[in-house]
Amino acid sequence: MTFLKRWWKILVSLVVVLAVDLITKYFLFDIDYFNLIPGVISIMSNGGNTGAAFGIMSGQTITLIIVSILMIIALFIFNHFVKNRNTVYSIAFGFIIGGALGNLYDRIILGYVRDFIYLDFMPFFPVFNFADTFLCLGAIIMAIYLLFLSNREKSKNNKTDRSDNNESKSN
């Protein structure tokens, strides 16, 4: 199986996530405040986040860059060992890597991450961006896949393999 045939779903989802993230950051980050849906969601610049989620490790940009790169490498190593990859898995993997790369780009180029999405109904929740959204969504989908769906895929593949073997023995 060629590289592109195995990876096209991952690459497409990764590129879409990266494009959505970088384009929205470019156009929306400098908006001081815009109420998109009253009482629900607003667009507002946070001035740049030098930390991770909820501002942890604030000012530790180099450390966060190193950790991000190591995590991306670890995810690719993990991906190499996953046997039952389907479309759900591939899209989730692309979401995670795309989100991680979107924020890594900001940290390397700007020294901070551009956050601009604010949930009005959750004032305690930090301002975030589409990279964060896709990364979290990808992680949730991946967890559901690995916990509940990959075993179904495995048993379905085993049934197919057994029926193929039975057919070849009868011929």
Q: Where are the domains of the chain?
A: 7-160
pLDDT of residue 34 exceeding 70, the answer is yes
Cβ–Cβ < 8 Å for 93, 122: no
Of the candidates 109, 105, 33, the one whose C-alpha atom is nearest the C-alpha of residue 72 is 105
Cβ–Cβ < 8 Å for 107, 16: no
Percentage of the chain modeled with pLDDT above 90: 70
Q: How confident is the model at residue 46 (pLDDT cuts 50, 70, 90)?
A: confident
Cα–Cα distance between 152 and 155 in angstroms, integer? 5
pLDDT of residue 158 exceeding 70, the answer is no
pLDDT value of position 113: 96
pLDDT 10s digits, 72-107: 999 999 998 887 788 999 999 999 999 999 999 999
pTM score of the predicted model: 0.84
Quick check: is 32 catalytic? no
Q: Exactly one of 32, 115, 120, 164 is catalytic; which is it?
A: 115
pLDDT value of position 42: 97
Quick check: is 161 catalytic? no
Q: Exactly one of 21, 106, 120, 132 is catalytic; which is it?
A: 132
